[in-house]
Chain A
Amino acid sequence: MRLTVTGFSTGRALLAVFSLLVATALLLPIVIVVLLSVGEDRIMAFPPRGFTLNWFADAFTSDRWRSRFASSLQVGAVSATAATVLGTLTALGLKRTKLPGKSIIYGLLLTPLIVPTVTVGIGMFFVWLEGWSFGPLVIGGGLTGSLLGYVMAHTVLALPYPLITVTASLMTVDRNLELAAGGMGASPWVTFRRVTLPLIMPGVWAGFILAFLTSWDEVIVALYMATPQFGTIPVELFGQIRQSPTPTAAAISTMLMVAGVVIFLAALTFRRRGAQQ
């Protein structure tokens, strides 16, 4: 209530102007992309002239975009699932066993967050391309431009997210609940499925969504791994804008943005529902 009394002070006016500037700086690029996607010019130009939804239709009908969309979805879904399963199991292993050197293992698994992706990407590129060679024995290789290659790369990059969210969830699960379940006759597996897993589910979902978005959004490693036959949406966007910036790219970007917002809102509702329980 006191805020309204002092509402007209200079400090507050300055704050309002500053906030507006920051908001504009953040939102303007997004607005421009949306505007570009509906302009009639064949090459992206600002300010756009006219209004058309052709570029959206183009994005939907183009075989190339459709295949890129399918690849992105496959890579994202599979790598997010793999990262979530591995991250959950790792979190359990680190939280519920007496393993020595736990904090070192945890730290090592978080390195994809710290090490520059460019560096990781170079390493991955060579290993995926050539394979691991132990003398005459070579494992892998020829994985660039393949679904498996992309999935493996993105699983590594996304692993920290489910690891962090599930670890955080596990900390809120009372150890006595698991002991109680055991005491009542539940084997360790049944205890996990019936007690631990339902309780850490919000963390598992949050980890999955973050892992999916990591893959969906990832450009650097995806660029290394791409071949003309196989690549993800960000790689295709990057390539097209460099060669001939058609508004289709802007239309795709707009749709990705909307999809991102929807996924984020879904995650938020899920968390709220989880918190209510």
Chain B
Amino acid sequence: MTDRKREPALELRGVTKEYDGGVLAVDHIDLVVRDQEFLTILGPSGSGKTTTLKLIAGFVTANAGQIMLDGEDVSRTPPYKRNLGMVFQNYALFPHLTVEQNLRFPLEMRRLPAAESSERVAEALDLVRLTGMGDRYPRQLSGGQQQRVALARAIVYQPRVLLMDEPLGALDRRLREDLQLEFKRLHQELDVTVIYVTHDQEEALLLSDRIAVFNEGRIEQLGSGEDLYQWPRTSFVGSFMGDSNTFRGVFEQRGEIGSIRLANTTLHGSVHPDSNLKNGESAVMIVRPEDCAVGHLEPTVKTNRLEVVVEQAVYLGSTIKYVVEYDGMTLYSRMPARSSDPPQEPGAGVSIQWAANDAVIVPDR
């Protein structure tokens, strides 16, 4: 089974979709989804992530490019011949059918014998912990239960790839967290290939083997959650994947460490290996709030340091979040809260500092 894991289950090659009126929703996307992988398409609304999923499902036809499923071109194959599973944000359960009839629907389409169908339906209901709910109608279930039914219906016929379009978007936070864990468990138990669309970066980090960050119809970066968080390749990825402090300036290379020149100071940081930056180009430095310390600090070597004024100090239990101001810019810091050092008061003049190798420098685009 693990050998199969390296095989591509699905491959997009130069897939492009332009809607009527010249809106380029998806712009030459290349993407390889490995077998049994949980891949998340993450991006803001209008980034083309849902269109990409619809292209894979076959609900929308691409203007250019190929969609390969197990090495076979399915670009022109109608949805009902693609053998994919789909979970929608609004569940899309058939309201005139019971839970069991909903689950039987895809099996009937595959002309499975009734006995085997019953077995599979019971198994699927069991997997999503809805045993005994088969006779209910969707409207008699809560939102969370309905989404579990939708999930059961999407896996009961063992589709080649499971597509999920913001399946938790309509649920409240608590339920969302429960179901996220359930999705993760099911993915591990069923060895199914999942393509998951969301705009929630925490959800993406929690669930995914890899994440493709979408912006304006293109993939900005593809990698593990850790890659994207620690080594964002663009300022967009840096700001979309969690909180970040960003500085715009002129790039200069000095050995392994790069630097960017601001109006009154120069900051040092690691240069992203893919960046191809040249001296004198405009660049962005990205640094995470948790890598920034605030207080009356001694200057150290290889450390960036700025004199700032505290605007707000928010106590969050285990951490303290500082909002500080530097030369008209708002910067953030998140530090472990220790009872020994009392938080800085608003208005206090302090310094903020971070290690050069905690900061990433990327091209400004």
* Interface residues of A, Cβ cutoff 8 Å to B: 174, 176-177, 179-188, 190-191, 194-195, 198-199, 277
Contacts and interface: CB of A to CB of B under 8 A. Distances in A.
Contacts of A277: 95-96
Contacts of B106: 184-185
Contacts of A176: 88, 90, 92
B293 to A, nearest CB: 49
Contacts of B105: 181, 184, 186, 194
Contacts of A191: 80
B115 to A, nearest CB: 20
A179 B94 contact: no
B157 interface: yes
Given A181-B105, A185-B109, 10 more contacts: A179-B88, A180-B88, A182-B58, A183-B84, A185-B110, A185-B157, A187-B78, A194-B105, A199-B96, A277-B95
B116 to A, nearest CB: 16
B92 A184 contact: no
Contact of A180 (B82, B86, B110, B157): B86
B92 A180 contact: yes
B92 A186 contact: no
A3 B177 CA distance: 51
18 contacts: A174-B90, A176-B90, A177-B92, A177-B95, A179-B57, A179-B86, A180-B94, A182-B80, A183-B79, A183-B163, A184-B80, A184-B86, A184-B109, A184-B157, A185-B80, A185-B83, A186-B80, A277-B96
A190 B81 CA distance: 13
A195 B110 CA distance: 17
Contacts of A182: 58-59, 78-80
Nearest to B89: A176
Contacts of A188: 80
A199 B153 CA distance: 19
B96 A186 contact: no
Contacts of B57: 179, 183
Closest 7 CB pairs of A and B: A185-B109, A184-B106, A180-B92, A176-B92, A183-B86, A182-B79, A198-B96
A177 B79 contact: no
Contacts of A174: 90, 92
A174 B96 CA distance: 13
Contacts of B289: none
Contacts of B96: 198-199, 277
B232 interface: no
A185 to B, nearest CB: 4
Interface string B12-36: 0000000000000000000000000
B238 interface: no
A184 to B, nearest CB: 4
Contacts of B86: 179-180, 183-184
A63 to B, nearest CB: 47
A183 B109 contact: no
Nearest to B90: A176
Nearest to B57: A183
Nearest to A181: B105
Contacts of B163: 183
Nearest to B81: A185
Contact of B80 (A183, A194, A195, A199): A183
B153 A179 contact: no
Contact of A199 (B59, B83, B92, B95): B95
A185 B159 CA distance: 10
A164 to B, nearest CB: 22
Nearest to A190: B109
Nearest to B109: A185
Interface string B204-237: 0000000000000000000000000000000000
B59 A179 contact: yes
Nearest to A173: B95
Contacts of B109: 184-186, 190
A176 B78 CA distance: 16
A141 to B, nearest CB: 45
A199 to B, nearest CB: 6
Contacts of B85: 183-184
Contacts of B95: 177, 199, 277
A216 B360 CA distance: 80
Contacts of A194: 105
A191 B153 CA distance: 16
A46 to B, nearest CB: 52
B37 to A, nearest CB: 20
Interface in B101-153: 105-106, 109-110, 153
Chain B CB within 10 A, most for which of A177, A180, A198: A180
A182 B106 CA distance: 9
A184 B79 CA distance: 8
A187 B80 CA distance: 6
Nearest to A194: B105
A186 B110 CA distance: 9
Contacts of A190: 109
Nearest to B54: A179
A179 B90 contact: no
Nearest to B59: A179
A186 B109 CA distance: 6
Contacts of B88: 176, 179-180
A46 B86 CA distance: 71
A277 B79 CA distance: 29
Interface in B34-92: 57-59, 78-86, 88, 90, 92
